[in-house]
Amino acid sequence: MSLILFIEQALNGLQYGVMLFLMAAGLTLVFGVMGLINLAHGSLYMIGAFAAAAVAGATGSFLLALVASLVCAAFAGVLVEFFVIRRLYDRDHLDQVLATFALILIFSEGTRWIFGSFPLFLDKPDWLSGTVMLPFGIEYSLYRLWIILVGLLVAAGLFWMIGRTRIGIRIRAGENDREMIAALGVNISLLYTFVFALGAALAGLAGALIGAIQSVQVGMGEPVLILAFVVIVIGGIGSIKGALVGAILVGLTDTLGRSFLPSFFGLFLEPSSAMSIGASLSSMSIYLLMIGVLLFRPKGLFGGI
Amino acid sequence: MTEPILDIRGISKSFGALRASNNINIDLRAGEIHALIGPNGAGKSTLIKQIAGGLRPDTGSVHFDGQDITALSTAARARLGMGRTFQISSLAMEYTVLQNAVLGALGHRGDVFRFFRPVMKDAGLLATARASLEQVGLEEFHDARVSELSHGQRRQLEVAVALTLSPKVFLMDEPMAGLGAEGSHRLMGFLDQLRHKAPILLVEHDMDAVFTLADRISVLVYGGIIATGPVEDIRGNPIVQSAYLGEETAA
Amino acid sequence: MRKEFFLNAALLGVLLAFPLWAWSVDEPYLITLATRAIVFAIAGIGLNFALGFGGLVSLGHAAFFGLGGYVMGVLAFHAQTYTPVMGWPLVINGTKSMPTIWLIAIALSALLAVGIGALSLRTSGVYFIMITLAFAQMLYYFTISWPTYGGEDGLSIYVRNGFPGLNTMDPIQFFAICYAILLIVLAFVFAASRSPFGLALGASRQNEERIQAVGQVPFRLYLTAFAISGAITGLAGALFADLNRFISPTMFSWQTSGEIMIFVILGGVGRVFGPVAGAVLFILLEHTLGGLSEFWHIYLGAILLGVVLFARGGLYGMVAGREVAHD
């Protein structure tokens, strides 16, 4: 029973990690290519979730909802990049943090204004509800399994795009040497807008996929944003591979810590203090992980290459 | 022969496949100017960093004033008496000329962790700072912000700040760069005198300056010293001429 | 320099005159508003010490604000329930005395800042921003899941702590205490900004190579600045807790870190009085915009965006010129 529980929780951790990767990929690309810290990335996640919930409510189609999340978040990304973000590329990190913090305020309150403070609900479609039987007699949620697959597919697509396509070459060139790609005649500002929109679309997709498990509400983006930052810091800022590894590490640590630390402390402490110590340690665990990584590798696992 | 104050013994440093320093021996003795010359990319800056701190050699050691300082930080070396000027002016740009000089004097005196007395009213620090500025001829600009200074004035300030440290040796990385004829000439006259206070390891591109000032010259090519000796020996050395001076004068 | 001096004097004057006027017309709410501005200002002054003078962009100063708050909450909670904070190995009792609470808040915040700083300062740039944020988040989640002091719901302290000879429950008297502390903190920071330490710290921010070349270690300067910064923000946290007679994990939240940063930016980074102007402006905006619309954060966001994009240097930058004045 304990092994089954472990595998189930590990799958949950993987699912969480894959979703974090969708968030972290955009953040790390935007930082790697443009040198920008974008705190408003969580708002794009929220926009994706709200767009999906609104479209699913209107049309009843989950797939249309996902498309809407991608399109709306990408569109919001383009707008934000055009009006605000491109003025920040040459600024220091402090200005970037503040300006994008300001964007969070605007997006969050704007969404509250339009949709109100009550959470919306995005239902999983019928064809993804229920459970599947996995080997060893493990019964697991079909939807969660499906989003693991979707996330891994997106990750594979992203790796393919960056490794094998022309736009990917330009992105990598942009990470290494900004002046060189300008000299090559690449339209930098178009490339930047594209990278930002791509990151936004991925965040929006993550928002929609998670929105069907949790509720869709204002403020849903920021906790995920902070975790995504932890992910890219662990992975090494700018590294897509680092983001994937970091995301899965964080996803597993968080989920497994949450389910096993309290019972672990229960082995040698009285139940009530085991619960509270276990709970507080598990919510602190990913930050401890990050601090641990940074102490040994101040630029993250795959940073500085 | 006097004991060298600064003695670099067989240091090597590689970056991947590139050998930036290859078994370098070089020393500096009291009262001399020892010039380090070499074409661009020969590894002069890498060598200076290993001497001044900030870059640890892979092998070999740096001895200063009878002490092995290979493992010491830049700050510790500066406190022992290494006065450094940078190739690209490295000053506190928002501060005034006088503030930069006071900073040097303060760093040397060492009592940085004081929170209450105004530092710019400290008579001792001001005296040291003003004397150094006067020596390089910057005293009338003491109120100017560094960001307003000309390139040449910044070079002078670099030297002035190094002076506030009352160093035992000077490490100067291209102090003449961009100075113009008159400025170079003045600085040369100044360095000529300065060597009697503390010897100077001088990295310099200006060959006139090097041949006028230096007591000894070392030639660095592809990370290795190909010749060291008095000025006349180097001028007449055929290896040096073919490896370096020839190209330079032809160009 | 002149202009900056007059702005400083005007700020302190208004901050004193306004609550006195509110007191004379019996508007305790307005006095509390001014007190809030002062407490925020102190928190901002703390952050500014690291951020403005040392260039250390900490997005985790809520850690110190929250710790200061919890020091007050925990000590007062044990005093009001007559239980010891700790029974072993030595007995520590709670207290309702403000000065004691302040000293403990300052000491513990400085200690926490030394710990966080020693680890965080191994990194720089974005990594520093994120690791400071991570430390604050850790404490945030810790307080949420630690049930003894109310967990997520927070903890109410029914009677404001005491100060010898004053009735702290009287808004104007509590205001006076906070105002006096503000003056002391400002005096200290002003002195420190002109001190040997201030000169060296500023030089380190501008050029680490330079400070090393004159024989000083940037890390020590930064760590000291971070400790002082944390201590001041921690003191503000203790005052804030006493102002509200309530503590909750929100004090540790990253929005709190963001708001403290806003105080600094609105006023002007690196100016001694900048955070005072920023906090006053923030409270003014909150009060006036909050009256206009339930969604006043939109306007706050727009104003902040405008300041960052177009009015760098904040209020002080606009009034007294871009360059930071030194004498």
Distance from CA of B224 to the nearest CA of C (A): 26
CB–CB contact B92 C206 (8 Å): yes
Most confident of B71-75, B139-143, C224-228: C224-228
Please name the residue of chain C whose CA is at the shortest distance from the CA of residue B100: C203
Regarding chains B and A, contact by 3 or more CB pairs under 8 A is answered as no
Q: How far apart are CA C189 and CA C183, in angstroms?
A: 10
Distance from CA of C45 to the nearest CA of B (A): 16
Residue A123 predicted with pLDDT over 90: no
Average predicted confidence (pLDDT) for chain A: 87
Distance from CA of A80 to the nearest CA of C (A): 12
- Across the interface, of C51, C131, C148, the residue whose CB is closest to A294 is C131
- Looking at residue B152, its amino acid is G
Average predicted confidence (pLDDT) for chain B: 89
Residues spanned by the domain of C257: 2-320
Please confirm whether the linkage preceding A298 is cis (ω < 30° from 0): no
CB–CB contact C129 A93 (8 Å): yes
Distance from CA of B145 to the nearest CA of C (A): 10
| A211 class by beta-carbon count within 10 Å (0-12 exposed, 13-18 middle, 19+ buried) | buried
**Taking a contact as any Cβ pair under 8 Å apart, which residues of chain C between 261 and 300 contact chain A?**
261-262, 265, 269, 295-298, 300
Helix (H, G, I), strand (E, B) or coil at C299: helix
**Taking a contact as any Cβ pair under 8 Å apart, which residues of chain A between 99 and 128 contact chain C?**
99, 101-106, 108-110, 112-113
Asked if residue C115 is part of any domain, the answer here is yes
Q: How far apart are CA C90 and CA B219, in angstroms?
A: 69
Nearest to C18 by CA among C32, C36, C37, C31: C31
Inter-chain Cβ pairs, chain A and chain C, closer than 8 A: 123
**Taking a contact as any Cβ pair under 8 Å apart, which residues of chain A between 221 and 260 contact chain C?**
222, 226, 229-230, 233, 237
Per DSSP, C88 falls in state S
* C292 CB-side CA count, 13 A: 10
Asked if residue C146 is part of any domain, the answer here is yes
More confident residue, A38 or A126: A38
pLDDT band for A193, please (50, 70, 90 cuts): very high
What is the per-residue pLDDT for C326? 42
CB–CB contact C196 B86 (8 Å): no
- Could you tell me the sign of the dihedral formed by the alpha carbons of A257, A262, A263, A269, in that order? positive
More confident residue, A284 or C199: C199
- Across the interface, of C196, C212, C327, the residue whose CB is closest to B111 is C196
Q: How far apart are CA C243 and CA C64, in angstroms?
A: 17
- Across the interface, of A102, A229, A287, the residue whose CB is closest to C301 is A102
Per DSSP, C162 falls in state B
CB–CB contact B53 C324 (8 Å): no
E strands along chain C, which residues?
84-86, 92-93, 155-156, 246-247
Nearest to C203 by CA among B63, B190, B103: B103
Residues of C with CB under 8 A from a CB of B: 188, 191-192, 194-200, 202-203, 206-207, 209-217, 221, 224, 323-324, 326-327
* Structural domain boundaries in chain A: 2-218
Q: Please indicate if any CB of chain C lies within 8 Å of the CB of A297.
A: no
What is the per-residue pLDDT for C150? 85
- Across the interface, of C209, C215, C323, the residue whose CB is closest to B107 is C215
Distance from CA of B156 to the nearest CA of C (A): 15
Asked if residue C325 is part of any domain, the answer here is no
Across A17-35, average pLDDT? 90
Ordered by where they begin, the domains of chain B are 1-81+167-251 (3.40.50.300), 91-166 (no CATH)
Asked if residue C169 is part of any domain, the answer here is yes
Domain count, chain C: 1
Two tokens, residue C306 = 């405008």
- Domain CATH code at residue C126: 1.10.3470
Asked if residue C85 is part of any domain, the answer here is yes
Residue-wise pLDDT for A63-104, tens only, equals: 999 999 999 999 999 999 999 998 998 888 889 999 999 999
Per DSSP, B7 falls in state E
- Across the interface, of C196, C202, C216, the residue whose CB is closest to B92 is C202
Distance from CA of B24 to the nearest CA of C (A): 23
Helix %, strand %, coil % of chain B (to 5): 45, 25, 35
Could you list the pLDDT tens digit for every one of the 327 residues in chain C?
Answer: 678 888 899 999 999 999 999 999 999 999 999 999 999 999 999 999 999 999 999 999 999 999 999 999 999 999 988 888 887 778 888 899 999 999 999 999 999 999 999 999 988 888 899 889 989 999 999 998 888 888 889 999 989 999 999 999 999 999 999 999 999 999 999 999 999 999 999 999 999 999 999 999 999 999 999 999 999 999 999 999 999 999 999 999 999 999 999 999 989 898 999 999 999 999 999 888 888 878 888 988 998 899 888 877 788 888 776 554 443
Q: How far apart are CA C106 and CA C68, in angstroms?
A: 7
Q: Please report the DSSP string for C171-190 in residue order.
A: HHHHHHHHHHHHHHHHHHHH
Distance from CA of B196 to the nearest CA of C (A): 22
